[in-house]
Chain A
Amino acid sequence: MTFSDFIITNAPVLLVAIPLLAAFLCPVMGKISSMVRNFWVMGMMLVTAAVAFILAYRVFVTGPVIYVFGAAAANLAIPLDSGGIPIRIIFTVDAMSAFMDIICAIVGVSVLLYSLSAESRNSSLEGYYTLFFLMIVGVFGMVSTGDIFNFFVFLEILSLASAGLIAYRIDGGLAVEAALKYFILSTLGAIFVLFAIGIFYGQYNALNIAMIAERMQFSMLDKIALVLLVAALAMKCGAVPLHFWTPDAYSMAPSSVTAFLVVASQASLYGLFRVVFTMYNITMNCVTVGWIIIIFGVLSMVVGVTMAIPQKDIKRLMAYHAVSQTGYMLLGVGVGLAVLGNAGLTSAFGFMAMEGGIFHIFNHAMYKGLLFLTAGAIIYRIGTRDLNKMGGLGHTMKYTMIFFMIGALAIAGIPPFNGFASKLMIYESVYLFNPLLAIIAMVVSILTLASFVKVFHSVFMGPKLPEYADVKEAPLPMLIGMGILAAIVILFGLFPQPVVEILVAPAAHALADQGGYIASVLGGA
């Protein structure tokens, strides 16, 4: 086996193994020198991203990739003597998983590059990078695993690492308090997930997602498990009215961490979609569960944006917008779920709504990550998050201002940026389902624009203030990190159709095609 064959064959496990190695050797590298540590973390992140792209390419070209840990062959899902049950830990990477892997890789590289400058003035950076790589492990693991218990393990790794990084700055105890709230709520959610897993295992003697999906009866116990999973994962992705931890955690974490917390929340959103589409699908009442997700979405959009407008803390304001944008994803995919049992409606608009929601996951990760990084650059230079104390920074932080404008226009759904493309798909498809929902979504976009006009004016406009006379532009690594995300925001906005054809449509098909997922695991044995 050549080296390239080894990489291609073992890409699913390398996706988790490389960042794990990076995490636990980071303190050792830090003992040598800070420069060695920086080269180590950046190098390992680039290698991890390369593996993610290789794996995604393989998935989009040849179909789902199965990786069975400890098996004689990587795709041997069911051992000959197991009685037909896939007992080993398994990674099942289909187009939806690969789609999420790409998001994690791009944002991971941008954020890590940005962190090299943004966090350089802080101590305990070995701990920072170790926890950051554990977050990477958590996200890659959650979106790649084909085993529900394994999903729980990665969810816990992600929660623990995230809580550590939210508390990283301490900030007079405020950051620690935010982390504690996040940690306790995450633990409560994790208990719900674990209880649901116990229900599945008790009924079906299996932890493999495909096996559970194949045996799903939608009994009373399955309904309870569904409710526990939906509630826990909706809370973890920040859906209203379970969003309360989000503004606290997002505003108190270092900005680079906040940008990646967006991806972490989306991993939970992925988990929610995986549960309802892959595990339950049409065995459940899709209309009821679809409407539950739609209600989560509408509440998130409206409450998120209206709570953002009066905020005076730039990161808290952006955190509420993150909640609001999650609403669009829930709305789009919720509509797709609500009509899943009706082939006519699914082909008329349901599938398009799903594509819009999934495309918005990608777009949101890029522009929201970019906006949090611009907020971090501003805070890095002037030392305050208070919008009332800002002004005139457009005179000195020109590049940061341009990046902010790109992110702000994208989140408001202004053409030709990427947010417009996905929102247009959501508006038009959701309008055919229920016009009122589409109108609400459009009004929320207008309010989003209004809110970011306020931020733009407060931060960048006005005369050059005396207290910020010496403020300089953000350091180069921070600008490059922002620039990567800004370039994707523009490119995906100018050329949306190829993105939809290559990445989004296969991901939506993979999510909706329960039979295909089951066959890729159990049929290949």
Chain B
Amino acid sequence: MDMSAPLLTGYGIWVPVAWLAASVVAGIVIYLLWKTGESSYKKGTELERPYLSGNMEPEKGAVHVRASNLYWGFLQALKGYYDVLVPVHTGVLTDYMIWFVAVTAAILVFVGVLS
């Protein structure tokens, strides 16, 4: 059994080991580039403090972008879709049961039991 054999997808192949080797080479190149950067940084000094145009640094909790603020634009762009989809998830058990029975009826039609 060849452990590193490429994955045959029926249409092409996937060679993870080659991908990993390429990633390692890319990582080495990135590291070498990083090493050429400025080395005067000193830990625990003023260099660590963010510069906000001379303003005081806000509280740590205030600068963290919270989950609800992420993808606001995506959700607004799909507002019409979400206005339909979210209310369907009512959390009401009887609604869940209605969906179950309705989908069963739909499958009965598709399979040809009901016409």
- Interface contact A458-B7, CB-CB below 8 Å: no
Nearest-Cβ distance from residue B90 to partner chain A, whole angstroms: 8
Minimum CB–CB distance for B75 against chain A, Å: 6
Question: A220: nearest residue on chain B (CB-CB)?
Answer: B113
Would you call A462 and B16 a contact (CB within 8 A)? no
Interface size on A, residues (CB 8 A): 72
Nearest chain A CB to B65 CB, angstrom units: 7
Q: Which of B8, B20, B64, B89 contacts A391 (CB 8 A)?
A: B64
Q: Which of B10, B75, B85, B108 contacts A227 (CB 8 A)?
A: B108
| Min distance, Cβ A50 to any Cβ of chain B, angstroms | 23
Asked if B74 is at the interface of the complex by the 8 Å CB criterion, the answer is yes
* Contact of A500 with B93 in the complex, beta carbons under 8 Å: no
Q: Are A235 and B10 in contact (CB under 8 A)?
A: no
Interchain CB contact under 8 A, B9 and A429: yes
Q: Say yes or no: A464 contacts B60, CB within 8 Å.
A: yes
How far, in Å, is A405 (CB) from chain B's closest CB? 15
Which A residue sits closest to B109, measured CB to CB? A227
Shortest Cβ gap from B60 to chain A (Å): 4
A241 touches B89 (CB 8 A): no
Residues of chain B contacted by A310 (CB below 8 angstroms): 71, 75, 82, 86
One digit per residue, 1 when the CB lies within 8 angstroms of any chain A CB and 0 when it does not, for chain B 70-106 equals 1100110010011001100101010111011001100
Within 8 A of B (CB), among A182-240: 184-185, 188-189, 192, 220, 223-224, 226-228, 230-231, 234-235
Closest Cβ neighbor of A228 among chain B residues: B104
Contact A428 B63 (CB under 8 A): no
Q: Is the CB of B64 within 8 A of A494?
A: no
Q: Is the Cβ of B91 less than 8 Å from the Cβ of A248?
A: yes
Report the Cα distance A195→B17, complex, angstroms: 51
**Residues of chain A within 8 A of B14, CB atoms compared:** 415, 420-421, 424, 496
**Interface assignment of B5: CB less than 8 Å from any CB of chain A:** yes
B34 within 8 Å of A (CB atoms): no
**How distant is the Cα of A235 from the Cα of B107 in the complex, in angstroms?**
13
Chain B positions 1-38 with a Cβ under 8 Å from a chain A Cβ: 1-12, 14, 16-17, 19-20, 23
Flag if B67 contacts A454 (CB, 8 Å): yes
Interface string of B56-69 (1 = CB under 8 A from A): 00011101111110
Closest-by-CB residue of B relative to A501 is B1
| Chain B residues near A306 (CB-CB < 8 A) | 78, 81-82, 85
The CA of A450 and the CA of B59, in the complex, are separated in Å by 28
A101-109, A116-124, A284-292, A326-334: which one contacts chain B?
A284-292
Tell which of A224, A241, A245 touches B113, judged by Cβ atoms closer than 8 Å.
Answer: A224
Whether B65 contacts A462 by the Cβ 8 Å rule is yes
The answer to the question of A242 belonging to the interface, with a C-beta cut-off of 8 Å to chain B, is yes
**From residue B12, how far is it (CB to closest CB) to chain A in Å?**
6
Question: B17–A231 contact, CB under 8 A?
Answer: no
| CA of A428 to CA of B11, assembled, Å | 6
Within 8 A of B (CB), among A447-468: 450, 454-455, 457-458, 461-467
Contact assessment for B63 and A462 in the assembled complex, using a CB-CB cutoff below 8 Å: yes
Q: How many A-B residue pairs have CB under 8 A?
A: 165
Q: With contacts A181-B96, A307-B85 known, is A458 near B19, CB below 8 A?
A: no
Residue B54, interface by CB 8 Å: no
CA distance in complex: A231, B61 (Å): 47
Are the CB atoms of A309 and B74 closer together than 8 Å? yes
Q: Which A residues are in CB contact (< 8 Å) with B66? A: 387-388, 391, 458
What's the nearest-Cβ distance from chain B to residue A505, in Å? 10
Q: Which residues of the other chain, B, contact A455 by a CB distance below 8 angstroms?
A: 67
Let me know if B113 and A463 touch, CB within 8 A. no
Q: Are A231 and B103 in contact (CB under 8 A)?
A: yes
Q: A244-B99, A392-B64, A429-B10 are in contact. Are A227 and B3 (CB under 8 A)?
A: no
Contact check, A498 vs B3: say whether CB atoms are below 8 A apart. Answer: yes
* Size category of the binding interface on chain B: 35 or more
A467–B60 Cα distance when bound, in Å, is 10
Structural contact, B71 and A450, CB atoms closer than 8 A: yes
Residues of A within 8 A of B95 (CB): 244
Which listed residue (A235, A245, A497) contacts B6, Cβ 8 A? A497
Q: Is the CB of B7 within 8 A of A500?
A: yes
Q: Is A20 an interface residue (CB 8 A)?
A: no
Interfacial chain B residues near A66, Cβ < 8 Å: none
Q: Does A403 contact B (CB under 8 A)?
A: no
Report the minimum CB–CB distance from B64 to chain A (whole Å).
4
Q: A230's closest neighbor in chain B, by CB?
A: B107
- Whether A388 pairs with B67 at a CB distance below 8 angstroms is yes
Q: In angstroms, how far is the closest chain A Cβ from the Cβ of B28?
A: 17
What is the CB-to-nearest-CB distance from B95 to chain A, in angstroms, rounded to a whole number? 7
- Chain A min CB distance to B66 (Å): 5
A63 contacts the other chain (CB 8 A) = no
B111 interface hit (Cβ, 8 Å): yes
Closest to B61 in A: A465
B51 interfacial contact with A, CB 8 Å: no
> Whole-angstrom distance between the alpha carbons of A454 and B71 in the complex?
8
Listed by A's residue number, 18 A-B pairs whose Cβ atoms lie within 8 Å are A185-B96, A224-B108, A227-B104, A227-B111, A231-B104, A231-B107, A234-B103, A309-B74, A391-B61, A429-B11, A454-B70, A455-B67, A457-B70, A465-B60, A466-B60, A496-B16, A498-B5, A500-B8
Taking beta carbons and an 8 Å cutoff, which residues of A are in contact with B? Answer: 180-181, 184-185, 188-189, 192, 220, 223-224, 226-228, 230-231, 234-235, 241-242, 244-245, 247-248, 285, 288-289, 292, 303, 306-307, 309-310, 312, 348-349, 352, 387-388, 390-392, 415-416, 420-421, 424-425, 428-429, 431-432, 450, 454-455, 457-458, 461-467, 493-498, 500-502
Given contacts A188-B100, A462-B64, A498-B2, 9 further A-B contacts (CB under 8 A): A230-B107, A247-B89, A392-B60, A415-B16, A421-B16, A425-B10, A450-B74, A495-B3, A495-B16
* B interface, CB within 8 angstroms of A: 1-12, 14, 16-17, 19-20, 23, 59-61, 63-68, 70-71, 74-75, 78, 81-82, 85-86, 89, 91, 93, 95-97, 99-100, 103-104, 107-108, 110-113
